[in-house]
């Protein structure tokens, strides 16, 4: 499974990219607005940090203006994936962009039927929102099971399932078990994947045992070098 981080915060992106765990970034107008900066500048800087796909979303709702905005966004860097909503005009835009070999992330997917349409339109990624489905009393991960199962039935569907609106590590694990290709995570959720109380307990025990010896790996190395 690939990990994307869902943020426009450059400090967070740089820090997470340094771990080697980051395969891409997703942004949206709300996340860009929080930065208080020019969208194109932010996207350009993110693309410099992360070589993988960086989703940048159009803000128009009609196909003509979406295509104009998409051209601007795609011109920022070769790894921009233009993000469009799952609407009739959004899918028309998707088809036109894919015919030009521009990556497209179709977002705001809430049903398997919508996911089929996105795949037929040639979407590079489909973004089902599991957390928002959970919020209205449905089980968002059931949708991931459905979409993955449907896509596996057709060799002509190359669309990757990009699980969005992830609220915690359990969503990530279950999405991976379902066979989803990508999870886009808020930075705090990505960091939460590290955590387990037994890891902390074990590390504390190892460190206390080593401290009791009074030894230092670096001092021992220096002593060996001096003796050679």
The model's pTM: 0.93
The per-residue pLDDT for 212 is 94
Asked if residue 165 has pLDDT above 90, the reply is: yes
The per-residue pLDDT for 6 is 97
CA 200 to chain CA mean position, Å: 27
The per-residue pLDDT for 99 is 97
Known catalytic residues are: 83
Q: Where are the domains of the chain?
A: 2-192, 197-227
pLDDT above 70 covers a percentage of the chain that reads 100
The CA-CA-CA angle for residues 79, 105, 175, to 5°, reads 110
Asked if residue 227 has pLDDT above 90, the reply is: no
Q: What is the CA radius of gyration of the chain?
A: 21
**Which residues are CB-neighbours of 36 under 8 A, at least 6 positions away?**
none
Q: What is the mean pLDDT of residues 155-162?
A: 97
Region of poorest pLDDT, from 52-56, 132-136, 183-187, 219-223:
219-223
Q: What is the mean pLDDT of residues 168-192?
A: 97
Which CATH number describes the domain made up of 2-192?
A: 3.20.20.70
**How does pLDDT run across 72-98, given as a tens digit for each residue?**
999 999 999 999 999 999 999 999 999
Asked if residue 228 has pLDDT above 90, the reply is: no
Torsion of CA 66, 143, 159, 7, to 10 degrees: 60
Mean predicted lDDT score pLDDT of the chain: 96
CA distances from 86 to 52, 98, 106, 123, 189 (A): 23, 15, 6, 10, 26
């Amino acid at each position: 499974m690939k990990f994307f981080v869902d943020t426009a915060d450059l400090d967070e992106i740089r820090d997470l990219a340094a771990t080697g765990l980051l395969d891409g970034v997703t942004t949206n107008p709300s996340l860009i607005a929080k930065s208080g900066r020019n969208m194109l500048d932010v996207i350009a800087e993110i693309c410099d940090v992360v070589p993988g796909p960086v989703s940048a979303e159009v803000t128009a709702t009609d196909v003509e203006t979406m295509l104009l905005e998409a051209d601007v966004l795609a011109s920022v860097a070769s790894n921009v994936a233009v993000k469009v909503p799952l609407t009739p005009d959004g899918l028309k835009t998707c088809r036109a962009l894919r015919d030009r070999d521009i990556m497209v992330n179709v977002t705001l997917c809430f049903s398997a039927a919508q996911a089929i349409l996105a795949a037929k339109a040639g979407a590079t990624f489909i973004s089902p929102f599991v957390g928002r489905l959970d919020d209205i009393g449905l089980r968002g991960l059931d949708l991931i099971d459905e979409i993955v199962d449907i896509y596996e039935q057709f060799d002509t569907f190359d669309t990757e399932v990009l699980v969005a609106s992830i609220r915690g590590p359990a969503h990530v694990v279950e999405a991976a078990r379902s066979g989803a290709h990508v999870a886009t995570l808020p930075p705090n959720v990505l960091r939460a994947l590290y955590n387990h109380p037994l890891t902390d307990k074990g590390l504390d025990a190892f460190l206390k045992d080593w401290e009791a010896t009074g030894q230092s790996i670096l001092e021992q190395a220096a002593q060996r070098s001096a003796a050679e």
